[in-house]
Amino acid sequence: MQKHFETELESLKTNISKMASLVDEMVENAFFALKESDLEMCKKIKARDREIDAYDNLIKTQCENILALFQPFAIDLRFILTALMMNNQLERCGDIAVNITQRVKPLMDYKFLLEESKIFEMGEVARQMFKDAIDSFFNRDAKLAEQIGEKDNIVDGYNKSIFRFLIEKMKTNPELIEPASHLMILSRHIERLADHSTNIAEDVIFMLKAEIISHKHKLGSQ
């Protein structure tokens, strides 16, 4: 029974790793497509979303089966619960990558607006947060997880600054209302990516320390 349990646990770890790598690739490629106006890359990202959905269903089933068959406890139980929660966050991050690609075509002719708004800088911070969140899980690194909340504050700051910048642009130049609206939505998607990364970090701390962190601002202040 113990050997069967360990085999199922390793299979779950493998599938979580594959899903995380796939979403990480989607997020990276989404920002590349945005920067390079690469519409072919956008199509590839959208196609990959089906694979994410398949992993989502598989991992949910695996977690449910392990909980029902083996009744794990302590760190093993926390790992499975964390895998279940993380699976949900990863699926949403995959959706966000697709959502980012939907803004590539409408903003192709407004590179100057993208650059002036600092959206690329915001994306870099959110992108690093996501990578750190994934790394903290697989490396069982609570310290790295705790640092992610500090970067979330930076992303929130960018989001507010970009919003104010775009409002002023729309006031002074009505022709920019449509692209600025797309850019506002894009900023919100990136902000949500940072939020999901923070949620993963909270789940990692729960797994490693058996501590439930209810509010993301507590990360980085422990």
The closest of 220, 204, 212, 210 to 16, measured between CA atoms, is 204
Residue 79 has a pLDDT of 95
CA-nearest of 5, 16, 170, 153 to 83 is 16
pLDDT at position 45 is 97
**Res 222: pLDDT:** 47
* Domain encompassing residue 91: 2-218
Domain containing residue 21: CATH number: 1.20.58.220
Task: Please tell me the predicted confidence (pLDDT) of residue 219.
Answer: 61
In terms of DSSP H, where are the helices of the chain? 2-36, 39-70, 74-101, 111-117, 119-138, 142-172, 177-209
Number of domains in the chain: 1
Q: Give me the average pLDDT of each 10-residue run along the chain (222 residues).
A: 89 96 97 97 96 96 94 92 96 98 97 97 97 96 92 96 98 96 98 97 94 64 50
